Amino acid sequence: MSGSATLSREQLLPSWHGWSTMLSISVADRLAHRGDFFVGTLFRFLPIVTQIFLWTAVFSAAGSGLIAGYSRNDFVAYYLLTMMARSFSSMPGLAGGIARSVRDGSVKKYLVQPVDYVGFLMAARVAHKLVYFAIAAAPFSLMFFLCRDFFPPLPEATTIAAFLATLVMSFLLGFFLEATLGMLGFWVLEVSSLIFVYMLAQYLLSGHMFPLDMLDSIELTQAGFTLGDLVQLMPFQYTAYFPCAVWLGKIEGQELAYGLLVEAIWVVVAAAACRIAFLRGTRRYSAYGG
């Protein structure tokens, strides 16, 4: 007896009309909590201000113009760009929301209706981001304008295009990684501890806390394998460090092309993991619970 769900092409790729309606309804849903959303969006800018003060203090204490090859201006520019990248790749509430829908049974409607749950979550998340950027555009612009002197000159068009590509892929990667985490709710009752571990790994290994090339000097083996090399093997860097490094011109030419390819592969791997987790999870849900 087969309990598996088969997915048709139209389920995986809803029509444009379908996407736009899902999108507009998700936007309406986001705006239903506009007060909370507005305050949350604005206060996200606070940590960057503290980072600027922190690194100013570090540089004045160190008395040196460069730390790990970064000047104070580089650090400030890096953190501002990290904030930009994280605004694409972070998915607040996604994993917890999926796990909750499994626990309270509301996931059932996605099994009964002819709709793909992952596609639906994606449309909702795109809507979430659109509303976020609509609110955050003004403070973002102001912040970048005030900090314009920290940035190097505007990069070439190809670098800007690569940067935009990394941002889009960082959104997809962040989405699929967190959605996969949420799908674990089909197996365990509570995923909040797993989310905490993921967030911690994300914070340390994505470059959110410090530029990851600072880790290149920490050798793990005598053969010269560094902590930086280890971090390179993980997908987290593509959600923060990589886009920033591209804009700042630290990754160029063949290395850039290779980086984009690896990021694309990670997106595909994470999307496949998410799909498999969903199919296996719903099969388990069908067999044991519901």
User: Tokens representing 76?
Assistant: 């400030």
- In the bound state with another protein, the residue whose beta carbon lies nearer, of 115 and 130, is 115
Binding of residue 12 to another protein (CB under 8 A): no
CB of 109 to another protein, least distance (A): 6
Binding of residue 190 to another protein (CB under 8 A): no
Using CB under 8 A, which of the segments 15-23, 153-161, 208-216, 268-276 binds another protein?
15-23
DSSP letter for each residue of the chain: ---PPP--HHHHS--HHHHHHHHHHHHHHHHTTHHHHHHHHHHTTHHHHHHHHHHHHHHHHHT-S-BTTB-HHHHHHHHHHHHHHHHHH--TTHHHHHHHHHHSSTTHHHHHSSS-HHHHHHHHHHHHHHHHHHHHHHHHHHHHHHTGGGSPSP--HHHHHHHHHHHHHHHHHHHHHHHHHHHGGGT-S--HHHHHHHHHHHHHHSSSSS-GGGGGG-B-STT--BHHHHHHTSSGGGGTHHHHHHHTTSS-HHHHHHHHHHHHHHHHHHHHHHHHHHHHHHHHHHHH--
Binding of residue 18 to another protein (CB under 8 A): yes
Of 23-42, binders to another protein (CB under 8 A) are 25, 28-29, 32-33
Binding of residue 232 to another protein (CB under 8 A): no
Q: What is the torsion angle, in degrees rounded to the nearest 10, for the CA atoms of residue 118, residue 124, residue 130 and residue 133?
A: -90
Binding of residue 13 to another protein (CB under 8 A): no
Binding of residue 16 to another protein (CB under 8 A): no
- In the bound state with another protein, the residue whose beta carbon lies nearer, of 23 and 52, is 23
Binding of residue 46 to another protein (CB under 8 A): no
Select from 22, 102, 162, 240 the one that contacts another protein (CB under 8 A): 22
CB of 29 to another protein, least distance (A): 6
CB of 157 to another protein, least distance (A): 38
Please give the Cα distance from 81 to 161 (Å, whole number).
15
Binding of residue 92 to another protein (CB under 8 A): no
CB of 103 to another protein, least distance (A): 14
Binding of residue 108 to another protein (CB under 8 A): yes
- In the bound state with another protein, the residue whose beta carbon lies nearer, of 87 and 101, is 101
- Write out the residues near another protein by the rule CB under 8 A: 1-6, 8, 10-11, 14-15, 17-18, 21-22, 25, 28-29, 32-33, 106, 108-109, 111-115, 283, 285-290
